[in-house]
Chain A
Amino acid sequence: MEKIKGQLESYKEQPFSLVLRFLMWIATFLTVGITVCIVGYILIRGIPNLSPEMFAWEYNTENVSMMPAIINTVLMVLLVLLIAVPVGIGAAIYLVEYAKRGSKLVKLVRITAETLSGIPSIVYGLFGYLLFATTFRWGYTFLGGALTLAIMILPLILRTTEEALKAVPDSFREGSFGLGAGSLRTIFRIILPSAVPGIVSGVILGIGRVVGETAALMYTAGTIAKVPGLMSSGRTLAVHMYALLSEGLYMKQAYATAVVLLVVVLLINAGSGWIAKKLTKR
């Protein structure tokens, strides 16, 4: 208390500075307060709505189970990462390790990646619909949805990997080349392992986007509540939640789904922090 009083005392001559201070306090408090409100409200109102039949293996209109959607979400994340991570890492390796400074290709890749990261998810959804569902005549397919999302998170993986590769000191490369290793060996044995923390944090961010995505999936992977094959429709948890809300009959289940989604997001955030800490310590 004494300290705060002393601080306020020192502002006596400077009312304008005090006003600025207060504005900053209010803004920060609001930002954090809103986050706490959203998370707290959904957890407190939602957890009582969780019931075992919502986790039944099969979906029907009676139990409105979210289990198929949960399994789909996990499958979707794996499939998207399987496509996007190798491409993103490969592209980043080219940009950092091979490309000459200021080459036209590098500039083009940067500009297009920037463009991709700004495109709204509904535009991705329509693009995926036009390409996979109509042009390829696949209809709504899980694979179409995964490919669409893979393009969507590609710039994220690319950028974080690029930063991580750039952060590896040049002496590592010089040392490896000096010992007679080729550039491939240098990349896979020396550079990539030391860039892992950065890459992992990018991948985790990507998982978060896939889990939360709705608009890009509705017209690509569709909204059927079953665990699909690659070429049939299946909805993820976020799409499941939208379907519940737009039908308007299942508020309880919507609360429960929101809780599960939020818990996943919390875990992802905590996990990324934990991994970053653990890997930087080593």
Chain B
Amino acid sequence: MKEAREFIMKCVFILTACVSIAAVVLICIFMFANGIPAIAKIGPLNFLLGEKWKPMNNIFGILPMIVGSIYVTAGAIIIGVPIAFFASVYLAKFCNEKLYKILKPAVELMAGIPSIVYGFFGLVVIVPIMQKLMGGSGKSVLTASILLGIMILPTVIGVAESSIRAVPDSYYEGALALGATRERSVFFAVLPGAKSGILAGVILGIGRAIGETMAVIMVAGNQPVIPGNLAMGVRTLTSNIVMEMGYATDLHREALIATAVVLFVLILIINLCCSALQRRSGQ
């Protein structure tokens, strides 16, 4: 009786462990089965490299959205990573315990704010400021980059901080003993040891930025054209899906699912890079 119960529960635990495997398999099957036929129908080249997105005329080219996602993500990295980098070094190595007890919850709070609230903040604060500074509608590549740059801060800071903390103290002490200042010791002895961890954080940030939907949709303007400069509106892969899924039918709907497949594949590649890096930093 007791043995039977133990055995049954063990099977239950194994089953629950398999749920995440089943979920990934299901997601892959459903995304690819619904997206690939549309890509085949439109033609992979026309779909991926087509510069026009005109669902009314059955023209489905998502190059503007791919380029848009890349622009906005690159902007977010350029703005967010330097701030996150220096802040994480400060949190990990320089701030005293009292200050840390204030700073760390602030960063955690930042990670907890819903993306729709970020989007709202962008809409009512950043967009008007950009309107004054650059003219136009204020909804642009730059605005979206700034907002995303803010949103990836807690992600990058979290990973970078813990990888800096994982470097043995002896590196730091050794450099100090050789007469280097605290800053030099940290930046030139400790940080090289945390390099791949910090990079993994940045890549995680890239994943966040590419996948972000609700905040970007509020501040990016959403025109499906390749933006010529920073002040122009832009549409990302994610906002393309959210905006049109509600009313799309037939091939249009399938093309949107295919857009999600492209996004999914991008994210899978990014995740692979990230976990490879983290494994390397673990060794």
Contact = CB atoms under 8 A, between A and B. Distances in A.
Interface of A: 11, 14, 16-17, 20-21, 23-28, 30-32, 34-36, 38-39, 41-42, 45, 86-91, 93-95, 97-99, 105, 108-109, 111-116, 118-124, 126-127, 129-131, 135, 151, 154-155, 158, 182-184, 208, 211-215, 218-219, 238, 241-242, 245, 254, 258, 261-262, 265-266, 268-269, 273
Contact of B16 (A94, A111, A114, A151): A94
Given A17-B181, A91-B17, A24 B113 contact: no
Interface string B1-43: 0100110011011111111110110110011001000000000
Contact of B109 (A93, A111, A213, A265): A265
Interface stretch (B59-67, B135-143, B169-177, B265-273): B265-273
Interface residues on B, range: 35 or more
A31 B153 contact: yes
Given A119-B264, A130-B30, A242-B214, A27 B90 contact: yes
Contacts of A155: 20
Contact of A131 (B30, B109, B268): B30
A41 B245 CA distance: 32
Given A38-B121, A265-B109, A28 B103 contact: yes
B70 interface: no
B108 A212 contact: no
Interface secondary structure of A, over-half rule? helix
B150 A34 contact: yes
Given A38-B121, A130-B30, A258-B117, 9 more contacts: A16-B183, A21-B183, A23-B86, A27-B90, A95-B17, A109-B18, A118-B267, A130-B34, A261-B117
A114 B275 contact: yes
B109 A24 contact: no
Interface secondary structure of B, over-half rule? helix
A118 B271 contact: yes
Contacts of A273: 105
A90 B186 CA distance: 42
B213 A121 contact: yes
27 contacts: A17-B184, A27-B84, A27-B90, A28-B90, A31-B84, A34-B110, A35-B107, A41-B121, A90-B15, A109-B21, A111-B275, A112-B23, A120-B238, A120-B267, A126-B257, A127-B31, A155-B20, A184-B6, A212-B115, A218-B245, A218-B246, A241-B116, A245-B119, A258-B117, A261-B117, A262-B117, A265-B113
A118 B207 contact: yes
Contacts of B5: 184
B112 interface: yes
A219 B242 CA distance: 9
B37 to A, nearest CB: 13
Contacts of A123: 27, 31, 211, 260, 263-264, 267
The 8 closest A-B pairs by CB, nearest first: A120-B211, A212-B114, A90-B16, A27-B86, A94-B13, A17-B183, A24-B90, A91-B17
B118 interface: yes
Contacts of B271: 114-115, 118
